[in-house]
Amino acid sequence: MEKTDKLIVTPQDFKLPESLELDCGKKLDNVVLRYETIGKLNADRSNAILICHALSGDAHVAGFHSVDDKKPGWWDEFVGSKKPIDTDKYFVICSNVIGSCAGSTGPRSINEATGKMYNMDFPVITIRDMVRAQKYLIDELGIDKLLAVVGGSMGGMQAMEWAINYPDRLLSCLPIATTSQLSPQSIAFDWVGREAIKYDPNYNEGNYSSDLPPSNGLSTARMLAHITYLSDESMLKKFGRSLQEKDDYSFNFNRDFAVESYLEHQGQRFVERFDANSYCYITRAMDYFDLAARHGNDLTNAFEYCKNVKFLVVSFSSDWLFPTSQSIEITRALIKNEVEVSFCEIESSYGHDAFLLEIDALGEMVSSFLDNVMQKGEA
């Protein structure tokens, strides 16, 4: 691609006009959200789509930050001109969640009250808190009603929180490869990942130096999590039992297999771009996510006020982290509320990561759904 052909996107910061009240009972002051937009808002402000990112994502959903930038946004194949979420038609917004380390206020931000980093003094947050902060941004942009809120994985959790808490502020909701509550197994994986971070010698109860972070712990947490994003079939196809740059076993405990080398590489890359405290806070927010618990332990009750929101629920056949059964549960709860909902399980061998990789199958579905919502409008 020629440099002149690159879509250049500029990150922007928005400071909330007031303190953010949190589910934990505390308030968070001077909250900043990092966000990016692509496309143009039409005259009646009816073409805006909010994309919510997953655990390790950020506001950089598509495009490049400069002509020399080699790495595009995390959903670049899916969002842009003539792509499934077509920015020639739609005004796309993506904001970094609170608690993150990618521009929005999080545990490594400076607490203006003390002049020091929050670290573990940062309040525990929830998925709903993330959405509360996003609503301030949408208000600031002057958008009364979003055409859609779209998200995969943790992004899908945010999308559903939007529909449940602000049903009059969006026309449609697209929860993809997600769940209405984190399972005990998923909570267990998160716990082990955080324990790896906490027991890293550099962690220092969350007060680690920027020059000496708990890299080993965070890398281990990422390797563990990354396994859950794949499927047995995809790992078999990609690695099998192939050895990494050797002809025989080493007969020691260094890496022998290609899959071991791959995971080590993923862990190292993650340490270069993510913060350990943010990882702890965001995974805890996911642990606490349970739509039914807030509504008498009945998921149907959770969607009671979503009757005017159209839903597209998508799962992937090999996703064992958030399996299809969990998407079916969401769909059934919507049907019981007489909500207009479409559901599809896409056959894929990619596991949970399929929402980032099955561009053609998912893209055709999402594109058609959004076109339909746009054409019908509020009717």
Q: How do residues 165-202 score in pLDDT, each as one tens digit?
A: 999 999 999 999 999 999 999 999 999 999 999 999 99
How confident is the model over 248-285, as pLDDT tens digits?
A: 999 999 999 999 999 999 999 999 999 999 999 999 99
Cα angle value 355/218/285 (rounded, 5°): 60
Classify strands 172-176 and 310-316 as parallel, antiparallel or unpaired: parallel
Catalytic machinery residues: 153, 319, 352
Q: Cα(140)–Cα(155) distance, rounded to whole angstroms?
A: 21
Q: What residue spans of the chain are helical by DSSP H?
A: 127-140, 154-165, 184-198, 215-229, 232-238, 258-273, 276-287, 299-302, 324-336, 354-357, 359-376
Ordered structural domains, the chain, with CATH? 3-182+290-376 (3.40.50.1820), 186-284 (1.10.1740.110)
User: 33 with 95: CB under 8 angstroms?
Assistant: yes
C-alpha to C-alpha distance for 150 and 75, rounded to whole angstroms:
12
Which residue in 283, 278, 272 sits closest to 106, CA to CA?
Answer: 278
CA–CA gap between residue 100 and residue 217 (Å, rounded): 18
Residue 331 burial by CB count (10 A; 0-12/13-18/19+): exposed, middle or buried? buried
Query: Would strands 85-86 and 27-28 be described as parallel, antiparallel, or unpaired?
Result: unpaired
Reading the chain (379 residues) residue by residue, the pLDDT tens digits are 344 589 999 999 999 999 999 999 999 999 999 999 999 999 999 999 999 999 999 999 999 999 999 999 999 999 999 999 999 999 999 999 999 999 999 999 999 999 999 999 999 999 999 999 999 999 999 999 999 999 999 999 999 999 999 999 999 999 999 999 999 999 999 999 999 999 999 999 999 999 999 999 999 999 999 999 999 999 999 999 999 989 999 999 999 999 999 999 999 999 999 999 999 999 999 999 999 999 999 999 999 999 999 999 999 999 999 999 999 999 999 999 999 999 999 999 999 999 999 999 999 999 999 999 999 875 3
- Token readout for 271 is 């340490």
Buried b (16+ CB within 10 A) or exposed e, 15-40: ebeeebebbeeeebeebbbbbbbbbe
Provide the token pair at 47: 């073409």
CA distances, 173 to each of 55, 216, 339, 345 (Å): 19, 38, 11, 17
Q: Sort 261 into a burial class: Cβ within 10 Å, 0-12 / 13-18 / 19+.
A: middle
Match 């058609």 to its residue by tokens. 368
Can you tell me which residue has the tokens 């208000």?
139
Q: Name residue 35's amino acid.
A: Y
Rounded distance, CA 155 to CA 134, Å? Answer: 12
Q: CB neighbours (10 Å) of residue 364?
A: 11
